[in-house]
Amino acid sequence: MERTLIILKPDTIQRRLIGRVLQRFEDKGLGIAGMKLMHIERSLAETHYAPHKERPFYPGLINYITSGPVVVLCLQGNRCIDIARKVMGQTFGFEADPGTIRGDFGASRSFNLVHGSDSPEAAASEIALYFTDGELLDYAPAGSDWVFPQDDS
C-alpha cells in the first residue's frame, strides 16, 4: 500500500475548502492514515522545500506555506501518489483541468491550494517530516476491496 503526503495550504483553510478538498481524495478511494491541523514553522518549511532553495520562487513559497494554518495528511492506497496528483491537477489553477482541485478552485500562480509528494522517495521523506510512526494508522476501510481489488495493484 503506497502512501503520500498532502498539505492543504493556507488558502484552502482560509477559503473554508477543507471538507470539499478532502472529499475529492476520499471519493477517489484514498484512505487517511494521518491528519493534523498545524502551523508550519519557518525551519520546517525550509527543510521541506530545500530542493527549491535556489529557485526564484523559493522565498515566496516559504512565506506562503508559513502564512497560516494548514492541514497535513498522509493518504494511502494503491498508486496513491499518481492518483492524488491527478486529483490535484496542474500546479497553476488557470492551467488545471476542470474536475481537479486546482481546476475547480484555483486561478492563481501564487496560491495553488494543495501540495502533494511527487515520488515514493519524496513521499517517504516528507511524511517523516510531519508525522511520527505512532501518528499513522494502517487499516482497511470497509468496502476497500471494491475500490482496490487484490489483483489490481
Domain CATH code at residue 34: 3.30.70.141
Q: Is residue 53 part of a domain?
A: yes
CB 105 within 8 A of CB 21: yes
Q: Is residue 63 part of a domain?
A: yes
The yes-or-no verdict on residue 151 having pLDDT over 80 is: no
pLDDT band at 150 (very low <50, low <70, confident <90, very high): low
Question: What per-residue confidence (pLDDT) applies to 152?
Answer: 65
The count of structural domains within the chain is 1
Q: Is residue 149 part of a domain?
A: no
Q: Is residue 10 part of a domain?
A: yes
Q: What is the pLDDT of residues 11-59, one digit of tens each?
A: 999 999 999 999 999 999 999 999 999 999 999 999 999 999 999 999 9
Q: What is the pLDDT of residues 98-119, one digit of tens each?
A: 999 999 999 888 899 999 999 9
Q: Is residue 147 part of a domain?
A: no
Give every CB contact of residue 105 below 8 A, 6+ residues apart in sequence: 12, 15, 17, 20, 21, 93, 113
Kindly state the percentage of the chain with pLDDT values over 90: 83
pLDDT band at 153 (very low <50, low <70, confident <90, very high): low
Whether 115 is catalytic is yes
Domain that includes residue 24, residue range: 2-136
Mean pLDDT, residues 83-102 taken together: 95
Question: What per-residue confidence (pLDDT) applies to 31?
Answer: 94
Mean pLDDT, residues 116-138 taken together: 95
Question: What per-residue confidence (pLDDT) applies to 3?
Answer: 97
Q: Is residue 151 part of a domain?
A: no
Kindly state the percentage of the chain with pLDDT values over 70: 97
Q: Is residue 148 part of a domain?
A: no
Of these residues, 39, 48, 52, 115, which one is catalytic?
115
Which residue stretches of the chain are H helix?
A: 10-14, 18-27, 42-48, 58-65, 80-88, 101-105, 120-130, 144-147
